[in-house]
Structure 1
Amino acid sequence: MLTAPQVELIQRSFATAVSSRDDLVIHFYQSLFDKAPSVRGMFADDIAPQAKMLGSTLQFAVQKLDNIEALIEPLRALGAKHAGYGAEAAHYAVVADVLVSCLEEAVGPSWTQDHAKAWTDALNLIATTMLEGAAQSPVDEAPKPH
């Protein structure tokens, strides 16, 4: 579980990151594809629509972190959906690492180890919940880019 100070750090740092870098999510995908080129095929060539969806999902998750129960079912559904795209447990760790790095870069010098820990804890919680959904989802079709 996240503590109230962690939730506050996440919410404030996310607001700072998106206000200081309006291409934060596009930059995240560029960094992800640089770090893990094998995942590029899981995405459509035009990443802009996906970036918009991720930005909205991050905004929703950050807003709801103080009410984790409201996130559980949407995150499980998202995990089931991602299983259909071919997402594997190992991908979640890479995504978290890249996202934390992009956030740190966007927030700048005010970023602390407390920020990194709060974001890592939150992303681990999100990944665990999404993986629960993926485990409950039958994957009958070949993965499709999203």
Structure 2
Amino acid sequence: MLKASDIQLVCRSWEKLSPNIPEGIILGQKFYKNLFTLDPSLKTLFKGDLTEQSIHFMHIMDTIVNAIDKVDDLSDVVARLGVRHVGYGVQEADYAVFGKALLMTIEQTLADAFTPELKQAWENTYNTLAELMKKGAEAASSVA
């Protein structure tokens, strides 16, 4: 369960992070650059256009952050996201790299505004969502 203070910090920072396209595309592209810098082997998971993928990533992030205060309602949506990622070839270890790339991107974008409290709020939020995705992925793998 996320703390109200984490939700508030994440939502406020997301307002600064999620400008309209084309800036949103740039943030998404920065995320993928960081992801592939941390683990170049993850490039093989992405078959299409990275600009389109960046837009898609930003839309998903926006949907999740805007509903984060209702994390219980998000559980099924995020679990299904985990199921879909199994089909893309995402492994459990990839979640840690993804989280690290996300935090790097947020820190690079917000610079001095990325306080230790904000970092902790994003870590808590990401870890909560990643656990929900992994549960969905585990459920899908046990059925297959």
Distance 2:91 2:124 in 1: 19
1:27 to 27, 30, 44: 30
Partner of 1:76: 79
Q: What is the aligned residue count?
A: 140
Name 1:8's counterpart in structure 2.
8
Report the alpha carbon displacement of residue 19 of structure 1 after superposing the two structures with TM. Answer: 3.4
Letter in 2 for 1:70: D
- Residue matched to 1:67: 70
Q: Tell me which amino acid in the other structure corresponds to 2:73.
A: A
Separation of aligned partners in 1, 2:115 and 2:19: 18
- Match for residue 57 of structure 1? 60
Q: 11-20 or 60-69: which moved more?
A: 11-20
| TM-score, scaled relative to structure 2 | 0.91
Whichever residue aligns with residue 32 of structure 2, its letter is: Y
Contact 1:89 1:131 in 2 (8 A): yes
Q: Distance in 1 between matches of 2:67 and 2:73?
A: 7
Contact 1:14–1:103 (Cα < 8 Å) also in 2: no
RMSD: 1.6
* TM-score of the superposed pair, with normalisation by structure 1: 0.89
| 1:86 pairs with 2:105 | no
Contact 1:6 1:118 in 2 (8 A): yes
Identity, in percent, stands at 29
| CA deviation map 1:4-42 (0-9, x unaligned) | 111110011111123395311111001111110011000
Q: 1:45 to 1:53 in 2, by over 3 A?
A: closer
Larger helix percent: 2
Is residue 78–residue 133 contact of structure 1 (8 Å, CA) maintained in 2? yes
CA contact (8 A) 1:61 1:71 kept: yes
Match of 2:108 in 1: 105
Distance 2:75 2:48 in 1: 30
The 8 Å contact of residues 28 and 57 in structure 2, kept in 1 or not, is answered as yes
Aligned pair 1:114/2:117, yes or no? yes
**Residue type matched to 1:100 in 2?**
L
Find the aligned partners of 2:4 and 2:136 in 1 and give their Cα distance.
26
Q: Which runs of 5+ in 2 are unaligned?
A: none
How many Å apart are 1:45 and its aligned residue? 4.6
The counterpart of 2:133, out of the listed 123, 130, 141, is: 130
Runs of 4+ in 1 over 6 A off after TM superposition: none
